[in-house]
Amino acid sequence: MEEQKKKCSLKEHADINANIYCKKCEIYMCSKCEVHHSKLFENHQNFILNKNFDELCNEFCEEEGHNYIKLKYICKTHNTLCCSECAIKVKGNGYGKHANYDICIIKDILEEKKKGINENIKLLEELSYKFNESFKDIKEKYEKINENKEQLKLKIQKIFTNIRNILNNREDELLLNVDKEYDNLYFKGDIIKDIEKLPNKIKISLDKYKNFIENKLKDENIIKEIKECLEIENNINIINKANSFIEMIEDSKNNEIIFTPEEKELDKFIEPIKNFGLIKTFNSEIGLKLSLIINNDINNTKLILDWIKETINKDEIKFELIFRMSENGTNSEDFHKYCDNKGPTLTLVKTTKNKLFGGFTPLNWKKNGGNVDDLNNQTFIFSLNLKKKYNMLKRNGRGIYCSNTNGPSFGDCDFEMKQNMKEGETYANSSCNFLSNNNLELTGGKGEREYFDVDELEVFKVIYN
């Protein structure tokens, strides 16, 4: 395939093949233009276009203003080729850009670079493969993130559409109530129109009656005579009603129908609407990072997350610290004050002997709830020291025990906190709900009952949809 010829850069010579290139001006010239160019710019270096032109251009510095100077050095610090002007001590306008860095002559480093090229090619191939795989994964994650973003937008739109519908419906309801209140207190809208027609209607009726009296009809027209009489009587009734209506209006003149809240009270309704909704980053571990018991232990955090996710079959979980014994009080009353009726909770305990354990329950803590059954068998206890989770036995559905004289207590006293929650105990009798009698492992006990002293106790609200 024949190489495509370069054309002259001058617009008027655009159809003429170029045979000269000025690297400094970055223009292509035909023989006519080259004559003028050489006279104007004697110091510019022009190149004859041939097959070796591109290779020749590669030998010159790409720094602005240096494009006629040949490359001679390599800056090892910046890993780039440079010319003598780049390496000089005088700085400014691109000069001396690499002067204070590690510079050597190109030919002195050529062998070193060539020796490592095979290894670098292999490394580049490996990195390229890994990058391509990573990029696929990143792209999938990005698409998922974008999908989640759009779903969140739709969720917000749905909520606010519902709010607008509720407001519109309420507005319509209030407007109808205005009509109803005015109709009940004063009059219906069409009464005034009827009253306006009344004088003319009565005049017509009187004229007809007077005419009827003056030209008394014969007995065979008795029906018409009765009709005329009835019309007069009906008009009398209408006038009496109209007078009653006028009196009612007069009596009601001190009444006023109002709308509450008044405009000046509107701020207390508008403020909550203005601040309704919050966009924030969700991280299931953030809540647990507040724990002084876990103390940012990534392994324990992951272990608890996995146990709860596995139990409730949810992917997105977050934790909100609602009680800490060292801050909120050591009495069971303090626990119930902060933790009752909060839904699913995670309890963490640290003993004075550095035993870390706890329990999860989807059930509500209550001041006087007694034994609360967990019919879905989702309540469990665990030891962080032993990395073990203890599930409930299906033969007994009891999950937690609630009493104003107890802090958080799991199962049939598998572990319980006393009224003074600095004290607790575990049991190992046959009535225990959890698999085996390993609940004593929580505190390192060996007997039937093990008492322990509490160093810290924390309760987290567990939030999931």
271 located within any domain = no
Q: How far is residue 40's CA from residue 117's CA, in Å, rounded to a whole number?
A: 45
Instruction: Say whether pLDDT at 72 is over 90.
Output: no
Check whether residue 396 and residue 319 sit in a common domain: yes
Q: Are residues 310 and 204 in the same domain?
A: no
Using a cut of 0.95, tell me whether the model's pTM lies above it: no
**CA 57, 59, 61, 67: dihedral to nearest 10 degrees?**
-40
Kindly state the percentage of the chain with pLDDT values over 70: 79
pLDDT tens for each residue of 245-302: 777 766 666 667 777 776 667 777 777 777 777 776 555 566 788 899 998 888 899 8
**Backbone φ and ψ of 329, nearest 5°:** 125, 155
Could you tell me if residue 196 is inside a domain?
yes
Q: pLDDT at position 54, please?
A: 58
Q: Which of 113, 130, 148 is the last residue of a domain?
A: 113
169-197 mean pLDDT: 76
* Domain co-membership, 294 together with 212: no
The answer on 422 and 341 residing in a single domain is yes
Q: Are residue 22 and residue 107 in the same domain, yes or no?
A: yes
Cβ neighbours of residue 456 closer than 8 Å, sequence gap 6 or more = 292, 293, 324, 325, 326, 348, 349, 350
Cβ(65)–Cβ(45) under 8 Å?
Answer: no
Contact 406, 332 (CB under 8 A): yes
Same domain, 291 and 225: no
- pLDDT beyond 80 at 231: no
Whether 203 and 102 share a structural domain: no
Range with the largest mean pLDDT of 115-129, 205-219, 397-411: 397-411
- What pLDDT, on a 0 to 100 scale, did the predictor assign at position 33? 92
Residues 128-155 have a mean pLDDT of 81
Kindly state the helix (H) or strand (E) to which residue 409 belongs, with its residue range. Answer: strand 409-410
Q: What is the pLDDT of residue 394?
A: 46
User: How many structural domains comprise the chain?
Assistant: 3
pLDDT tens digits, 437-459: 455 677 766 656 778 889 999 99
Q: Which residues 6+ apart lie within 8 Å of 387 measured at CB?
A: 303
User: pLDDT tens across 6-19, in order?
Assistant: 788 888 898 898 88
Q: What angle do CA 297, 419, 296 make, to 5 degrees?
A: 5
> If you average pLDDT over residues 121-128, what whole number do you get?
82
Return the pLDDT at 70.
76
Is residue 356 domain-resident?
Answer: yes
The candidate with the shortest Cα–Cα distance to 455, out of 426, 421, 419, 427, is: 421
Residue 228 lies in a domain: yes
Among 70, 93, 113, give the residue marking a domain's end: 113
Kindly report, residue by residue over 289-309, the tens digit of the pLDDT: 889 999 888 889 989 999 999
pLDDT at site 436:
43
| Domain containing residue 35 | 11-113
Q: 65 with 54: CB under 8 angstroms?
A: no
Q: Kindly report the number of other CB atoms within 10 A of residue 1's CB atom.
A: 3
Mean pLDDT to the nearest integer, 345-372: 92
- Contact of 449 with 428, CB cutoff 8 Å: yes
10 Å CB burial of residue 150 (0-12, 13-18, 19+) is exposed
Q: Are residues 341 and 218 in the same domain?
A: no
Segments in 267-369 forming alpha helices (H): 267-274, 298-312, 325-328, 332-339
Question: Is 272 part of a structural domain of the chain?
Answer: no
Output the pLDDT for position 220. Answer: 54
Kindly state the DSSP code that residue 440 receives in the 8-state scheme: G
For residue 280, the model assigns a pLDDT of 60
Judge whether 279 lies within some domain.
Answer: no
d(Cα 401, Cα 163) in Å, to the nearest integer? Answer: 41
- Asked if residue 64 lies in contact with residue 72, where contact means CB atoms within 8 angstroms, the answer is no
Show which of 113, 132, 161 is a domain's final residue.
113
